Structure 1
Amino acid sequence: MRISYSLLLCLLSLPFWANAQLNPVKFERYTLSNGLKVILHEDHSTPIVVVSVMYHVGSKNENPERTGFAHFFEHLLFEGSENVGRGEFDKYMSGAGAYNNANTSQDRTYYYEILPSNQVPLALWLESERMLHAKVETKGVETQRQVVKEERRQRIDNQPYGRFQEEMATRLFKVHPYRWTTIGSMEHLDRATEADYVNFYKDFYVPNNSVLTIAGDFSPAAIKPMIQKYFGTIPQSIKPVYRPTVVEPPLGNEIRDTVYDRVQLPGILMAYRIPAQNDPDYYALDMLNRLLSGGQSSRIYKSVVDEQELAVSAGSFSFSLEHPGATIIYGIANLGIETSKVEAALNAEIEKVKNELVPELEFQKLRNQLEVDLVDQNSTLEGIAENLCTFEIMYGDANLINTDINRYLKVTRQDLQRVAQKYLNNNNRVVLYWLPEQKQ
């Protein structure tokens, strides 16, 4: 059976946008007198609840002489509190049949628990203890220093290409705190005093710098008094929470360098400056990344890896950040292939999107893939809880969980070409050749 081209385009553009419109995430938002923002998403489909707290503090809020504190505190605040003994946090969770974890970025720190709905008071108590009574003392600090150092060894120092974020950041940013990574400096952590740690906790782990989100099987009428009981009396910060305001100047010219590492295959990494996540151009650039690198049928993978066989791996991705960040385009060369050939092939794909409009059929496929991904992010309680927190704390609008897709759907084929021409330029990038140590 043959389908006309226009009908095919129509069919391609239908399914997931309709589904996204029909299933908005419903929630209630309010603020306690101490500034803590609360978001409630009621869903009785399973007897599970996600309790999460996001703090508006990441590595960009750190003192340049004390980097790594935000990530360090992600670990430290599992040490216990005045009313929770060392090591007991996880015991409480496992005893309740719950799972808990945390993560840190350049912009925020996130803690969450997934637990049976009858255990919600336990999670609220533990998170309130973390916010008000956490133990920031020498024994816990020393323990977690060693944990973070081991994490660095495993994830960065002993991983092929593991240092690429650090090497890129120091060249891509000169004045903005994005110039260091979330893992920070082990030397800074070693030199820090107990007072440094205590002050960081007092400055950022305060109710007026956080969002509490509860998603799942609960009654708002029953849970609101609990929230007030556990969080309502926690005092807010007595001084404004520090927010960096420095603006990174334009790069101005291409920066090229070589890094030698314990790797078997050479690689190339190219970083381009891009706007912050709430900028309209970011959405076009994110779609452009998906076009170039959204799976094995994407342009870069298909051309550089499959057809030309120049690389064993190649792709692109963006850092979605509160302030202007970066898009990374990379390739790991195949055995015996010169890095310059991989660079030339990547550059050729970049030039294509700068000089040619994306065909309509490919563009519609891209939109459908994007819509699937965005809908999938809100298909679980964990995803809903984190997205509500992120949109509220980063942009002051939790309802972006429902409307963010509209920003993508406004992007046109012409926008993809325009942002490629505007941002994917040689004078707006850092190029690193990542070579085996024996070539040094």
Structure 2
Amino acid sequence: MKNSLMALSGALMLGGIASAQNVAFEEYNLDNGMHVILHNDPSAPVIITSVMYHVGAKDENPERTGFAHFFEHLLFEGTENIKRGEWFKIVTSNGGTNNANTTEDRTYYFEVFPSNNTELGLWMESERLLHPVINQIGVDTQNEVVKEEKRLRYDNSPYGQLIPVVKKNMFKNHPYRWTTIGSMDHLDAAKLEEFQAFNKKFYIPNNAVLVVAGDISNKEQTKKWIQQYFGRIPKGPAITRQTFTEAPITKTITDTFEDPNIQIPMIVTAYRTPSMKTRDARVLDFISGILSDGKSSRLYKKIVDDNKTALQVGAFSYSQEDYGTYILYGLPQAPHTTEDILKEMDEEIIKLQTELISEKDLTKLKNKYENQYVNGNSSVEGIADNLATYYLLYGDVNLINTEKDIYNSITREEIRDVAKKYLNPNQRLVLNYVPSKDKAQN
């Protein structure tokens, strides 16, 4: 009886948290097809103006990879009304901050200002869309910036080639096979007209969602500004997107990659998984939690803590709009080897496939997700990003409030069945990520 009362109390507490965290929003379309989402939160005198475009690395020409990420940099160069080099000065001089980021599926830009600068933020984002200046000076400048970023994040970073190598093996047909940063040779070879054509095709209002979130003291005035600055932008031609299908992996893929930046080898296994929009992808998130979320997780406790086979182990779901990739990795602790780690990781996966996790562990998973949900919506920046993402990539803005219900409805049986469905030896890549032979000899 006592346990039942405690469980009921916990459920009521979870329900209270979820209800308290519901995000109110209003959404509508402009005549040019741009989707608009407004979220009012007067708790702090700040406003975020953000635009997410449905263009990422997967929309690129295979001979011109890196374009989507390149535009993340290029579109801060300036506009017809914002001189080159002035963008960041305008933002900082008005008490704001700004940033942008790119994935395989979308590109996102945002400014955070004191709420009395709402109009400024809207004007700047409309300028980026309506009056970008794409010239050779900007292309050449940002080309050097992107090259330096690639050197830091990929070429000279320990284990920096891990994701590129995994992607190349997991995808043979889909554009997910290349990285967001793309090829420097492709960017060097591209003509100015190609960058301008990319902008004209994808940077159109009917391929974007505008989110205004924060202290919207006068919603009607905000709507007037939105109409004034964005409503006049011409609608672009509808974008036809090609569908790419990958053949199932039916036997183990093996590969070896030599990295001159490392001294300790890494064993990596990767499995192709379904779109992040599916229920199975959410179940895989729970499986990640079971296997590698913290020092009490199964992989860490067994392989690092108890057996001391590995210095580090982990598992994560690399979720994307069309497909996902589920990745496990480990670094051996001498005298153990990567083969020892692989054996122990496989044992834990088999246990998930054949035994139901306990009700206590399931409750723990749900509580952890609830906490992540609350944290993800604890700032106006997080809410704006989530609103844009749920609209553009999931097709349902209200998932910001209801996705937690999907996670809370996951069962122990589903965890077992999803592990059996996707995490099998004949469906995976086994990658030996090792120090380069030249370095080892030195």
TM superposition shift of 1:389: 0.2
Q: Which residue of 1 aligns with 2:203?
A: 205
Contact 1:34 1:236 (C-alpha < 8 Å) held by counterparts: yes
CA distance in 2, matches of 1:90, 1:303: 49
CA distance in 2, matches of 1:272, 1:9: 36
Q: Which residue of 2 aligns with 1:189?
A: 187
1:427-438 alignment to 2 at 5 Å? Answer: 427-438=426-437
TM superposition shift of 1:98: 0.3
162, 167, 170: which one pairs with 2:168? 170
1:138-287 alignment to 2 at 5 Å? Answer: 138-218=136-216, 219-237=218-236, 239-262=237-260, 263-287=262-286
Q: What secondary structure sits across from 1:433 in the alignment?
A: strand
TM superposition shift of 1:9: 4.1
Q: Which residue of 1 aligns with 2:363?
A: 364
Contact 1:60 1:244 (C-alpha < 8 Å) held by counterparts: no
TM superposition shift of 1:4: 4.8
Aligned residue type for 1:266 = P
Q: Which residue of 2 aligns with 1:46?
A: 44
Aligned residue type for 1:196 = E
Aligned residue type for 2:185 = E
Instruction: Give me the CA root mean square deviation.
Output: 1.4
Q: What secondary structure sits across from 1:34 in the alignment?
A: coil
Stretch moving more, 330-339 or 5-14: 5-14
Q: What secondary structure sits across from 1:327 in the alignment?
A: strand
Q: Which residue of 1 aligns with 2:79?
A: 81
TM superposition shift of 1:7: 4.5
Q: Which residue of 1 aligns with 2:330?
A: 331
TM superposition shift of 1:15: 2.5
Give CA-to-partner distance per residue, 1:179-210, whole Å, 9 cap, x none: 11101111100110011100000010000000
CA distance in 2, matches of 1:378, 1:400: 12
CA distance in 2, matches of 1:138, 1:81: 14
Give CA-to-partner distance per residue, 1:44-88, whole Å, 9 cap, x none: 111111111000000001111100000000000000011111111
Q: What secondary structure sits across from 1:361 in the alignment?
A: helix
Q: What secondary structure sits across from 1:259 in the alignment?
A: strand
130, 133, 151: which one pairs with 1:132? 130
TM superposition shift of 1:379: 1.1
Contact 2:269 2:327 (C-alpha < 8 Å) held by counterparts: yes
Alignment of 1:94 with 2:92, yes or no, is yes
1:311–1:9 CA distance, 2 compared to 1 (3 A): farther
Q: Which residue of 1 aligns with 2:351?
A: 352
TM superposition shift of 1:106: 0.5
1:344–1:10 CA distance, 2 compared to 1 (3 A): farther
Q: Which residue of 1 aligns with 2:18?
A: 20
Contact 1:53 1:213 (C-alpha < 8 Å) held by counterparts: yes
Stretch moving more, 34-43 or 257-266: 257-266
CA distance in 2, matches of 1:244, 1:190: 26
CA distance in 1, matches of 2:49, 2:204: 17
Contact 1:13 1:368 (C-alpha < 8 Å) held by counterparts: no
Q: Which residue of 2 aligns with 1:377?
A: 376
Alignment of 1:313 with 2:312, yes or no, is yes
Runs of 4+ in 1 over 3 A off after TM superposition: 3-14
Q: Which residue of 2 aligns with 1:407?
A: 406
Stretch moving more, 415-424 or 219-228: 219-228
CA distance in 2, matches of 1:421, 1:311: 25
Gap runs ≥5 in structure 1: none
Q: What secondary structure sits across from 2:17 in the alignment?
A: helix
Contact 1:12 1:365 (C-alpha < 8 Å) held by counterparts: no
CA distance in 1, matches of 2:8, 2:263: 47
Aligned residue type for 1:50 = I
CA distance in 2, matches of 1:78, 1:221: 29
Contact 1:13 1:364 (C-alpha < 8 Å) held by counterparts: no
Alignment of 1:116 with 2:114, yes or no, is yes
Contact 1:9 1:361 (C-alpha < 8 Å) held by counterparts: no
Contact 2:21 2:377 (C-alpha < 8 Å) held by counterparts: no
Contact 2:21 2:374 (C-alpha < 8 Å) held by counterparts: no
Alignment of 1:64 with 2:62, yes or no, is yes
CA distance in 2, matches of 1:91, 1:125: 15
CA distance in 2, matches of 1:35, 1:188: 32
Q: Which residue of 1 aligns with 2:389?
A: 390
Contact 1:60 1:107 (C-alpha < 8 Å) held by counterparts: yes
Alignment of 1:30 with 2:28, yes or no, is yes
Q: Which residue of 2 aligns with 1:107?
A: 105
Aligned residue type for 2:300 = Y
Aligned residue type for 1:199 = A
CA distance in 2, matches of 1:125, 1:373: 33
TM superposition shift of 1:395: 2.0
Number of equivalenced pairs: 437
1:278-297 alignment to 2 at 5 Å? Answer: 278-297=277-296
- Name the TM-score, length of structure 1 as normaliser: 0.97
Stretch moving more, 369-378 or 201-210: 369-378
CA distance in 2, matches of 1:415, 1:48: 42
Give CA-to-partner distance per residue, 1:358-401, whole Å, 9 cap, x none: 01111111111111111211111011100000001112211110
Give CA-to-partner distance per residue, 1:254-304, whole Å, 9 cap, x none: 101111112111111111111101111111111111111111211111111
CA distance in 1, matches of 2:265, 2:70: 32
1:318–1:436 CA distance, 2 compared to 1 (3 A): same
Give CA-to-partner distance per residue, 1:126-162, whole Å, 9 cap, x none: 1011111111110000000000000000011111110
Q: What secondary structure sits across from 2:397 in the alignment?
A: coil
1:12–1:312 CA distance, 2 compared to 1 (3 A): farther
CA distance in 2, matches of 1:59, 1:401: 25
Give CA-to-partner distance per residue, 1:290-320, whole Å, 9 cap, x none: 1111112111111111111111211111112
Q: What secondary structure sits across from 2:78 in the alignment?
A: coil
CA distance in 2, matches of 1:8, 1:414: 24
Stretch moving more, 385-394 or 328-337: 328-337
